[in-house]
Structure formats: C-alpha cells, structure tokens
Structure 1
C-alpha cells in the first residue's frame, strides 16, 4: 500500500500536465490565426492581440503544472520531448514572434515594414505545423508515461487485495470468537433496558474491552433504575417551562405583529393589553405616558375599572406609578373593595423613557421572574413603536420642509430673477416715454421686454416640468433615455447617449440633480449652440466616482447681447446643483470647437455636502 501511495503521488499532476500541454497546440494555432486574420488598417491593435496570445503561450509552457511533473523524474522520452519543444520555442519560434510584434508596434504604412511583417508572418505560419507536431509528441510521451505508472499501480493493488482477503478471513474468525458472542450478551441486556427492565445484568466478564463494557453496563443499569424514578417529574417540569416559553414567544410575536401591521392607536394598545391578560393571567393593564418626576401623566390606553384607576393615581398624583424609572411593585388599597397589587415597568428605548406599563393582579398572586422579564420586554417593544412613530412624523415634516425649500430656491433662482429683470426694463420704458425718446428706442426696449417675457414664460414652463419630474422605479438610466429622447425630438439634432452607470446606486436627491444638470446643459445646446450633434456620457467607476460629460459641436460660449443675460442664468443654477452634490463643474470650449460641460462627484459624499447639511440645520432650526 505504501508503494501504491508512492506511485500515486508520482502520477499526481500528469492529468493536469497533459491538459496543459494539449492547450499549447490550440494556443499555437490561435497565434497563427491572429497573425493571419489581423486587421490590415490597424496593425498595432492586431499586434496587441498576438502579444497577449504569445504571453499566454509562454505562461502555459513554463507553468507549474508541467514543471511539477518534470521534477518528479518522469521517463527520458518525456524530458527529451519537453526539451525539444522548449528549445525550439526559445531559439526559433519566440524570436520570430518577437520581431513580428516589434514591427507591428512601429508606425504602420511604410512599404518596407509591411514586407517585413509579411515575411515574419509567413515564417511562423510555415513552421507552426512542425512545432505543433513537437508538442503532440510531448503530450503523447506524457500519456505513455502515465499509463506505465498506472500499470504498476494496478499490479501492486492486486497483490494488496490478496493480502487483504487473507487478513479479512483471519479477522472474521477472531471477531466471531472474541467479539460477536460477548456482543450478543450485551444486546440481550440492551433490549431488556429498552423495555424498562433494568434488572438484567451482563454475564461476560474479562479484562478486555468488551468485559469492561459489560461491567460498565451493569453499573449504568443500576444507576438508571434510580434515575428513572424521578424522570417523569423532570419531564413535567421541562414541559411547563416549555409552555411558558411558548406563551412568551407568542405574546412577543403578537406584539411585534400588531405594531408592524397598524399604527399606534388606542384600539391596538387595548388589544395588546388583552393579550397580556390572557398570556399571564393578570386582571387588567394600563399604558401611561410620562417621565420620572411628573405628577400628571397621560393615559394612552387602559382596561382597568375606573375606581381602581383612581386609587392607582392617588387622586391625580402619578409619581407612585412612575417611580424612579425602575421596575417596581406597589399595593393599592381600595376602600370597600378588593385590593390589588400593581406591577410598574418603564417604557424605555435608548435611555429615553416615554411612560410606564401598569399591570394589576390579585394580592395573593405573585409575578414570577419570567413574567416580569416578559413584561419588561413588551414595554421595550411599546417604546420602540412610540419612537418609530415619532421618527416617521419627523421624517414626513422634514421631507415637506425640504421640498418647500427646493421650490423656493428654484423660484428665486429663475422666475424671480426674470421678474426683477422685467421690472428694470419697465422702468427704462417709463423713463423713455416720459422723456419722449425716439420711437426706435421705445421699440428696442419693447423688444427687450418681449424677449425677457418670453424667457420668463419659458422658465415657468421649465419649472413646471421640473416640479413634475419624478424618478421611476426603473432608475436613473431610464430617466436619461427619456430625457435624451425628449431633447432629440425638441431640437431636431443628433444626441448620442453613453450610459455606463453599471450597478452604482444614487440617492433620490442625487438622481434629480443629475437629471436637471443634464437637462439644463441640453437646453443650452438647443437654444444657443447652433449645433448639429451632441454627446451625453455618464460613467461610474467601482469607487463610486461619477463623471458626466455633455458636449456639442456648436459655436461655443458667448454672452454678447443684453438678452443673453437672461438666457444664460441657467449656468449659475447648474453650479449650485453641482455644489449641492459636492461636485466639480467645468464649462469650457475645447480646441475642436463647441462647448463641453464636465461634472465629477462621489456618490458616497453626495448626500453629505455642506449645502445639504446647511439645509437640514435650517429646517431643524425653523
């Protein structure tokens, strides 16, 4: 068996080496295919493909899969076949490919270089078949060597099998004599113990393991006969504990389900108190809102009778119920009625106390420790539900205030400026009329007013479009497609969209700002650029860095006329949106002409910019 292990260890890796050597043939023809089917007009690119294939061939030729087999001392034919392949590669094939790759990376187009490339290609293609034959001989040598080792392994295994059969026969005889008979005796004892009869004893006694096992069985049977008497009582105790645990889990599940399925209402809280009464066998309960030190609390929900509630509150003083914030029990003395004990536990979440949970039970009754822990857990669930309800209300208010702030900013940055500009022009017109200036001057001012009024109307429509803009569940990519399609139809020019967002996740605010910046840039292209085509490109790398590019082939940026001041106000708004995202915005004219708008920001920082934090602080302050 040791010989088999040695031969198996020697044979290990032959399959991988054969597979690796076999791939060298395919790789050789792949190199030949890349050289023969190269792109005539782009030899550097074709050469790059061939270079990768050559590097892959060399990595496979010198891979550990092959060299591991060679270091284990294979036959001389395997070593010679590999050396023949290696030498021919290093001294004949690889130098030819190296020259070919150097020529393809040079400036292509000269007739001399093209002829040299053709010569090197012809040389490789004419020698690749013989080189593949050498590789085939190497693979065949590996296969023959592996088969020879397998034959040796089969012979050794046959001899080991014969020896194993002999040992098995001897072992069967000894096992029946020294093992089976004692085991039969132990089996009879085990069957009796299974029936509950612990009076049966083992009669096999010796110094061996089975004899020791028989003595141990006799001792175990004596101990089991004693333990069996108290087993039923322990089972009843465990069953009772399990039932308590089930009731506790059921109550906690119902509590969590009630708070998750509906809002925190009086009906839900009363149903929860009824669940506590049924699960724990108490009389009634009350949920009050208040903190330590308060004399007056607010009763949120209760199932207690009115007279008991008055006795608990002590004539309006709730300090006894609230206590010092810790769990406690006190007695209520009812005049002319039955007295009760009240268990009080704080409704607290993250060191914030909202109130107390009160449970009334009979004087002769005592709450066990598991019941007290369960009530404390239910109280913590109530506290979490109250905290969650408050947070939901705060978030709704924050969203409403933030939306109002966005609308106010949009109106201030667009329509308000346009109206201010119109007011100035009206003042100019009044002055010109009062001074009885020439008709041409009045018409000029009137034309400026008409242009500004049209711009204000256009801004109003864009604001309406902005306020109606909603991001669908399809995400930012679908919104980009819709935006490009809209401006392509509106401007009648070719707009190319390159979307490389991949799996990046944008927040809703970031998506809105990105879409609005792209819309403003495309709007400027349509109105001012006189362009025939535009490009919108958005990329997001694995680190969450977003790059947005909008460029056109128009006339570029320029503010020459008085009306341009109204038409280019969108550039500051784009800058403000970029600041909101914490982005860097660059607007310039490339050497090829037109206008380029480049925006870059990080997704991780887009919701934590200074502008965003200032707005949150402002809303919180207000």
Structure 2
C-alpha cells in the first residue's frame, strides 16, 4: 500500500478538498438558480406585457386600424423573443411551463388570423380565453421561480449541514487518529522520563505517521531499557571496582603511613605485610630483603592447595629483595598485589638511597672541613713554619740585633698563632651551625651573638631573604664571608655601628651587605701575612657571586655580596 495515501495529513487534505469541491458545486448550482430567477422575472414582465398588447390590438382594430400591422409585428417579436424561446431548452424549466408556452403560441396563431382578416368580433370572442392562457403561463413561470428559490434554499441548508458534518468528522478523525495517539505518546514519554521503560501500549498497528512514530518510540524505549540496564550493570560494576580500589588505596595509605612516620625496620615491614595479608586474605607471605645481614620476614603458613607466587622487588635493574605469597584463586586482587610490590620495592630503594645520601653527606661535610682547614689553618701553619726557620737563623747569631729580631719574630709568631686559634674557633662555630640548622636567619644571628662579646660596637641584623636560601655548603661560605667582614670592621673601622642587611635587589638578585660607619678601608691590597680578603674573594667565586668592597663617601666601608636567586636550585 502506498504510504503517502495512508498518511493523516493526506486524509485530512482530501477531506478538506472534498468540502471545498462540494461547496463550490453547490455554490455554482445556487448561482445558476439565481441567474435563472433573474431571467424568470424578465419572462414574467415580458409575458405580462403580452396581455396588455393583446387588448391594445383589439382597440386598434376597432379605432386605429392603420397601426394594427405595426402592433402585430411588435407583439410577434415579443411572443417569439429569444428569452421566451429559451424556455424550451432551459434546464430548470418544468414541463408545465414548456406546455403553457406552446399552448400560448398555438392560441396566438388563430388570433393572428383574426387580426390579419380584421375580424374584430371573432377576436373579441377569443381574447378572453387567450388572456386566460397568458395568465396561466405567468402563474407557471411564478411557480417555477418559487421552486427554484426553494431548491436554492435547500441547497444552502444542505451545504451548511454537509460542512458541519464534514468538519465534525474531521475533528473526530483528528481526535481518533492524532490527538489520542499523541496523548498516549506524551504519557509514554513521561513514563520514560521517570524511568518506567515498560510504558503503556501505543497504536503501533496504524499505517500512518502516528503509527510509525509510535512503533519507532516503542523500539526506542526497548533500546533505552536495554542500554539503561547495561548502564546500571556497568555503574554497579564500576562502583564495586571503585570500592575495591578505595580499599586497596586505604590499605596502601596505611602501609605508607607506617613506613613514612617510622624508621624502616623488620617490625615496620612485618606490620606492612600483616596489613597486606588481612586485606588480600592471604594465608602466607614472606619477604626477603637483600641486606647485610639479609632481612627475612615470614607470616602465616604455606598451603599446598593454594597458588604460590613470587615477585622480584627491584627498581630499574637493581634487585632489592623477593616477595613470596600464597593466594586463593579469584580471591586476591592482582592490581593491589602489583601496587604492593611496587610500593615495597620503592620503600627499599628509598631506604638504600637515604643510606647512600647520608654517606655522601658525611663525605661532603668532611670535604668542607678539609678545605676550610686548608684555606685557613694550613696557611697560618705554613707562615709559622717560615717564621720558625727565621727564628732559628736569628738565634744562631749572638748579637743585640739578632736578639731584637728574634723577639720581633716571636711576637709576630704569637700574633699569628692567636689568629689561627681564633680562626679555628670560628670554624668550629660555623660547622656546629650547619649541623644544627641550615637556616640563614638563625645562622646569622648566632654569628652576630658570637662576635658581640668581642667589641663594644653596635651590630644590627635586617634579613628579608628566604630562610632556606642556601644549602649546607653554600651557607658555610656565606657565613665565613660575613664573619670575616664583621671581624675586619671590628678590628679596623674604629666606628660605632655595624649593619648586616640581607635583601632582594631590583634585579631579583640576593644581596648580603656588611656596612660600618668607621674611617673606611684604606686599600684593597692584602697586607703581608694576611689572607682574609683573598679567602673572601675565593669563597665568592665558589658561590658564583660578585663581591665588592668599597669606601663610602660619608665614611665607613661597605662589603656587598651579590648572588643570583637560583643559587640554591
């Protein structure tokens, strides 16, 4: 069957076209009747004039015979006019009207002979019957016109009733074929919205748009129900997976808390393995750590009916230990066990790395101490060695000048020895600082406190640099430069104030400044037998920093150490 002919839209269109066609046909018929009625009025008027003309001919035959022929001709033109002749062929003309007209025409033939023969008496005797024939024809015309008006009226009523019936039928059809199925579709869509996929039955058997829409909606609802069930199952599965992963993560978090808040030991590892056993329901677990001596932890008992597993604990190519365990099939979580293996391997690797880091740190500290001793006390001892050689040569001479020179050498020896002892104490203080706290603010305060007892000068500190700007090695060099600058100000400036400032300059660089209000440095050339300035410059080079020492115009000396802010990176 052609789908286009069964669509609701085509059916409604057909009904509307039918209404229009019927209305047009009836309107045309009524128009035809109205036109015919207009002609009937003309016929009645014309026929009425025949009655007058017939009496006029009688009058003219008696009193005005010269106009008889003209009046006769006029009468004949009216009687046989086209409007009256048309009665014989008109659709709406009844047989009575046609018969009356023919009777009228036939009667006139005899009367016309009387007029031609000027037989006034005979005409007078027949005129009454003839006029009666005319009157009957007029009455028949009026009856025909009345019947036409009645037909037009009934056609109009029929048209109205037909239109009302057709519109009522269309409304009923729309309600049955469109509105009711649409209401069902709306209700079914509401059910789908509420998650009720088994919706009310729809009109899927109708071979129209609504039927096909209902069929498609029903199939869609079935598919949605199928997808919804699959989605629910997937969500349930994912939820169980999330719960499982959450439990695994909780277990791993507890294990990581154990090892991060305590020093790694066999007891801590035993607690970690116990957490794993409880979580994974393992009957047996064993851990072997490659150490000197090796760590060996065993929990539970092996079971022959359980699956035996082993895994190498390694990071990269470095093997750190072995893990063995029994597990019930389909009980333990392979993801959790793999994460546990990686966690244990990483713990052991971090432990090994921390141990190596401590060893490297110790070696670094020893290297710092060795270099500091070499840069300070070694030079002092070398100088003392030269002075002892000079003293020996002077003591071999027995004269007053030699004795005086020996006394001078002994005095200089004593001075240098005191300086070396002071440097040794400074080194001890510095190294004690780096071991206790690698904090710039605290370290500077401790340096200043150790020097305040050596002078009556006022020493102030204003440091806005980050607390952990430097690592241990860098902090040693910075503190030694600051200490040397402060000691030089105490010994040589003859001032009353020493300012120590730490800040970030406009270029984002770190600046450490030691400034006094004394007489100012006389020269940047190092005096013979003194190594402080040279050592300060060497330390600044190790820090990749710029050291500037200058005499201020207003008096005093400023020592500035400028470092890039990525020094500790």
Q: Distance in 1 between matches of 2:494 and 2:235?
A: 90
Residues 581/205 of structure 1: CA separation in 2 closer, same or farther (3 Å cut): farther
The answer as to 2:536 corresponding to 1:574 is yes
Residues 581/216 of structure 1: CA separation in 2 closer, same or farther (3 Å cut): same
**Partner in structure 1 of residue 278 of structure 2:** 278
- 1:343 pairs, out of 289, 309, 312, with 309
Residues 482/182 of structure 1: CA separation in 2 closer, same or farther (3 Å cut): farther
**Partner in structure 1 of residue 352 of structure 2:** 390
Asked whether the 8 Å contact 1:506–1:603 carries over to 2, the reply is no
Q: Secondary structure at the match of 2:333?
A: helix
Q: Distance in 2 between matches of 1:538 and 1:531?
A: 21
Asked whether the 8 Å contact 1:493–1:531 carries over to 2, the reply is yes
- 1:378 pairs, out of 325, 340, 352, with 340
Asked whether the 8 Å contact 2:485–2:514 carries over to 1, the reply is yes
Shift of 1:289: 4.3
**Partner in structure 1 of residue 504 of structure 2:** 540
**Partner in structure 1 of residue 562 of structure 2:** 600
Q: Distance in 2 between matches of 1:478 and 1:209?
A: 88
Output one character per residue of 1:515-562: Cα deviation in whole Å (capped at 9) or x when no partner. Answer: 3212211211221233455555544347653344445532523779xx
Q: CA RMSD in A?
A: 4.8
**Partner in structure 2 of residue 3 of structure 1:** none
Structure 1 residue ranges without an equivalent (≥5): 1-177, 292-296, 309-336, 608-622
The answer as to 2:374 corresponding to 1:408 is no
**Partner in structure 2 of residue 162 of structure 1:** none
**Partner in structure 2 of residue 301 of structure 1:** 297
- 2:486 pairs, out of 522, 537, 540, with 522
Shift of 1:403: 1.8
Residues 526/591 of structure 1: CA separation in 2 closer, same or farther (3 Å cut): same
Q: Secondary structure at the match of 2:321?
A: strand
Asked whether the 8 Å contact 2:188–2:199 carries over to 1, the reply is no
> Scaled by the length of structure 2, what TM-score is found?
0.55
Q: Distance in 1 between matches of 2:478 and 2:459?
A: 17
Q: Secondary structure at the match of 1:274?
A: helix
Asked whether the 8 Å contact 1:587–1:598 carries over to 2, the reply is yes
Q: Distance in 2 between matches of 1:401 and 1:517?
A: 23
Larger Rg: 2
Residues 461/437 of structure 1: CA separation in 2 closer, same or farther (3 Å cut): farther
Q: Secondary structure at the match of 1:469?
A: helix
> Scaled by the length of structure 1, what TM-score is found?
0.50
Residues 544/234 of structure 1: CA separation in 2 closer, same or farther (3 Å cut): closer
Asked whether the 8 Å contact 2:438–2:471 carries over to 1, the reply is no
Residues 394/521 of structure 1: CA separation in 2 closer, same or farther (3 Å cut): same
Q: Distance in 2 between matches of 1:206 and 1:385?
A: 73
Shift of 1:384: 0.7
Residues 460/273 of structure 1: CA separation in 2 closer, same or farther (3 Å cut): closer
- 1:425 pairs, out of 387, 390, 409, with 387
Asked whether the 8 Å contact 1:504–1:544 carries over to 2, the reply is no
Residues 218/357 of structure 1: CA separation in 2 closer, same or farther (3 Å cut): same
The 5 Å alignment of 1:206-221 reads: 218-221=218-221
**Partner in structure 2 of residue 447 of structure 1:** 411
Residues 555/532 of structure 1: CA separation in 2 closer, same or farther (3 Å cut): farther
Residues 592/283 of structure 1: CA separation in 2 closer, same or farther (3 Å cut): same
Residues 285/474 of structure 1: CA separation in 2 closer, same or farther (3 Å cut): closer
Number of equivalent positions: 388
Asked whether the 8 Å contact 2:520–2:552 carries over to 1, the reply is no
Residues 529/565 of structure 1: CA separation in 2 closer, same or farther (3 Å cut): farther
Output one character per residue of 1:403-443: Cα deviation in whole Å (capped at 9) or x when no partner. Answer: 22222222333234334433443444444444334243343
Q: Distance in 1 between matches of 2:420 and 2:221?
A: 100
The answer as to 2:509 corresponding to 1:513 is no
Residues 214/547 of structure 1: CA separation in 2 closer, same or farther (3 Å cut): same
**Partner in structure 2 of residue 266 of structure 1:** 266
After superposing the two structures, state which structure 1 stretch, 233-242 or 270-279, moved more: 233-242
Residues 203/348 of structure 1: CA separation in 2 closer, same or farther (3 Å cut): same
Q: Distance in 1 between matches of 2:431 and 2:295?
A: 44
Q: Distance in 1 between matches of 2:537 and 2:477?
A: 11
Shift of 1:391: 1.4
**Partner in structure 1 of residue 398 of structure 2:** 436
Q: Secondary structure at the match of 1:436?
A: coil
The 5 Å alignment of 1:482-493 reads: 490-493=454-457
The answer as to 2:352 corresponding to 1:356 is no
**Partner in structure 1 of residue 173 of structure 2:** none
Structure 2 residue ranges without an equivalent (≥5): 1-177
Shift of 1:445: 2.9
Q: Distance in 2 between matches of 1:559 and 1:239?
A: 79
Q: Distance in 2 between matches of 1:443 and 1:183?
A: 125
**Partner in structure 2 of residue 46 of structure 1:** none
Shift of 1:350: 3.5
Residues 459/206 of structure 1: CA separation in 2 closer, same or farther (3 Å cut): farther
Shift of 1:381: 0.7
